[in-house]
């Protein structure tokens, strides 16, 4: 049995993200077989018992996840080419009045807030921002199979064969794509359900079958729907909601 980094093992077990694990280890909040481990980079055997102190659980409970209806013109992550990050929209003024989470907005909720997945500058809809590494892993981790659903307005002609290829049969960057579910929502709009999120994937898939995307909106991540959240507004993920 090969030793593994403690932070990696904690992430594998779903206790937290690797970054969070390093924070907890440095704070002396992690025990392995009853012993506090506070040295970063420590290795353990996979069968050793890991426990998080109550303080770590308290810190996790205070981390928030935010659902934003991203408008056009904002980037998902760091500022680029003069465009503002979507996280700059997380202000008291933009808080959705219909938020039923019961959470009071605090400026501390914007610290360490990272996008779990991306939406292009010219795409709109549901963007998840979270302080919780467990949530990010659930949505964009290497083993994630969480569905993402999109409404996609297109121009051009799509044959039956093209529609079949959108569902199963396309490759990007030399890799076969996972099967998708794609069907006509109305005359000029397709509905896509994907289990992966390569860069500009839907736009590139459409190009391969002779279509041009003229509008793209994400309406669902896992079991969380965009619903009636207005563009540019956000709300907290409620305690009874799960991706």
The number of C-alpha atoms within 13 Å of 107 and in the hemisphere containing its C-beta is: 0
* Tokens of residue 85, six digits: 């990050």
Dihedral pair phi/psi, residue 236, rounded to 5°: -85, 150
Fold of 148-221: Pseudouridine synthase (3.30.2350)
More confident residue, 11 or 25: 25
pLDDT above 80 for 203: yes
pLDDT tens profile 144-182: 889 999 999 999 999 999 999 999 989 999 999 999 999
Other beta carbons within 10 angstroms of residue 216's beta carbon come to 23
Boundaries of every domain in the chain: 4-61, 65-143+224-236, 148-221
Query: What confidence score (pLDDT) does residue 119 get?
Result: 93
Domain covering 65-143+224-236 in this structure, CATH number: 3.30.70.580
Q: How far apart are CA 223 and CA 35, in angstroms?
A: 39
| Confidence category of residue 143, pLDDT binned at 50, 70, 90 | confident
pLDDT tens profile 54-72: 888 787 778 899 999 999 9
Other beta carbons within 10 angstroms of residue 82's beta carbon come to 6
Catalytic (active-site) positions: 120
Query: What confidence score (pLDDT) does residue 216 get?
Result: 98
Average pLDDT over residues 207-216: 97
């Amino acid at each position: 049995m090969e030793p593994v980094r403690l932070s990696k093992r904690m992430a594998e077990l779903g206790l937290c993200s690797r970054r969070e694990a390093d924070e907890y280890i440095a704070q002396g909040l992690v025990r392995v077989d009853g012993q506090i481990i506070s040295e970063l980079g420590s290795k353990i055997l996979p069968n050793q018992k890991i426990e998080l102190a109550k303080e770590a659980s308290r810190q996790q409970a205070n981390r928030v996840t935010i659902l934003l209806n991203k408008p056009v013109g904002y980037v998902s992550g760091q500022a680029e080419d003069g465009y503002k990050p979507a996280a700059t929209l997380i202000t008291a003024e933009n808080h959705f009045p219909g938020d039923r989470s019961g959470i009071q907005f605090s400026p501390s909720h914007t610290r360490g807030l990272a996008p779990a997945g991306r939406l292009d500058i010219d795409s709109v809809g549901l963007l998840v921002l979270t302080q919780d590494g467990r949530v990010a892993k659930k949505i964009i981790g290497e083993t994630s199979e969480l569905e993402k659903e999109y409404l996609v307005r297109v121009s051009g002609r799509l044959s039956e064969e093209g529609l079949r290829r959108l569902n199963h049969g396309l490759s990007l960057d030399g890799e076969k794509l996972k099967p998708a579910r794609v069907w006509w929502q109305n005359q000029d709009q397709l509905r896509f359900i994907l289990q992966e999120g390569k860069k500009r994937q839907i736009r590139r898939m459409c190009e391969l079958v002779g279509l041009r995307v003229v509008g793209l909106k994400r309406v669902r991540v896992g079991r969380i729907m965009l619903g009636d959240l207005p563009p540019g507004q956000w709300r907290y993920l409620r305690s009874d909601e799960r991706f």
